[in-house]
């Protein structure tokens, strides 16, 4: 899932300072699962804003609404009947959702309440961890199912580097060395000989280096 982290109240207050009618827009997908921008987080942000404005003796009108997704236009269209009643939309979706809502309502400011952080997994309730950087050319078949791009701080294709110590990365002792994980996994699979294979230079054009990406399935187009 896409994992995000809500911005501080102070930052959000700064963004919405010029406005008095605010639509808080949550998303029922990834940011709900990572407890950053779902219906529950929308209600908490709304409550925080109401309390802050009340303390300041200022007025604010807030509407809470959560869409099934903010990355599909049929869901975004659901706010069309009432979005004009608000001066600004504060989206608690990932960066994709924020931008798509903004694209659909060209004259409406759409502001982000979330810092979109990574593609990851839920390690345990309340703990998420990065697993993928969306590089566009997956090599998990060669690395025991552990991604060196996302899980090695240097994204080394042939690691580990000298900064690996006792299975941890020199960047932070809390971070596991991605290449140690790869070696351990290859051992478990009985495929340690694969570690001897040199992974060639990666074609990064499928990643961000090739500019914004797009995927088309002609058979699905209407």
Partner 1 sequence: MRLNYPTNVKIVKVPCTGRVDTILILRAFESGVDGVYLAGCLEGECHFLKGNLRAKKRVQYAKALLDEVGLGGSRVEMVNMSSAQGQRFAEVAREITEKIRALGPSPIKNRLKVGG
Residues that bind partner 1 (CB under 8 A): 8-10, 40, 43-44, 47-48, 50-52, 54-55, 57, 59-62
Q: How far is the CB of 188 from partner 1 (least distance, A)?
A: 33
Buried (b) or exposed (e) across 69-93, using 16+ Cβ within 10 A? bbbeeebbeebeeebeebebbbbbb
Smallest distance, partner 1 to C-beta of residue 7, A? 11
Q: How far is the CB of 35 from partner 1 (least distance, A)?
A: 11
Q: Is 63 or 108 the residue whose CB approaches partner 1 more closely?
A: 63
Contact yes or no for 60/20 (Cβ under 8 A): yes
Nearer residue to partner 1 within complex by CB, 20 or 69: 20
Least separation in angstroms between residue 68's CB and partner 1 is 21
Rounded Cα gap, residues 102 and 95, in angstroms: 11
Asked if residue 160 has a cis previous peptide bond (ω within 30° of 0), the answer is: yes
Nearer to partner 1, 13 or 199 (CB): 13
In this complex, which beta carbon is closest to partner 1, that of residue 10 or of residue 218? 10
What Rg do the C-alpha atoms of the chain give, in angstroms? 22
Contacts (Cβ under 8 Å, ≥6 apart) of 221? none
């Amino acid at each position: 899932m896409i994992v995000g982290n809500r911005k501080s109240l102070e930052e959000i207050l700064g963004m919405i300072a010029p406005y008095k009618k605010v639509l808080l827009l949550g998303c029922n997908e990834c940011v709900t699962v990572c407890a950053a921008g779902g219906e529950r987080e929308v209600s908490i942000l709304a409550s925080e804003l109401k309390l802050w404005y009340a303390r300041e003796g200022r007025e604010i009108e807030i509407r809470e609404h959560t869409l099934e997704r903010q990355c599909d236009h049929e869901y975004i269209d659901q706010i069309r009947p009432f979005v004009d009643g608000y001066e600004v939309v504060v989206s608690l979706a990932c960066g994709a959702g924020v931008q798509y809502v903004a694209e659909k309502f060209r004259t409406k400011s759409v502001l982000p309440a979330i810092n979109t952080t990574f593609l990851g997994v839920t390690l345990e309730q309340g703990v998420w961890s990065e697993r993928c950087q969306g590089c566009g050319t997956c090599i998990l078949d060669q690395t025991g199912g552990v991604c060196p791009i996302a899980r090695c701080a240097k994204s080394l294709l042939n690691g580990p580097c000298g900064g690996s110590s006792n299975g941890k990365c020199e960047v932070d002792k809390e971070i596991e060395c991605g290449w140690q994980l790869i070696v351990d996994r290859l051992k478990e699979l009985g495929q340690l000989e694969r570690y001897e294979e040199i992974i060639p230079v990666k074609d990064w054009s499928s990643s961000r280096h090739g500019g914004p990406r797009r995927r088309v399935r002609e058979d699905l187009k209407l």
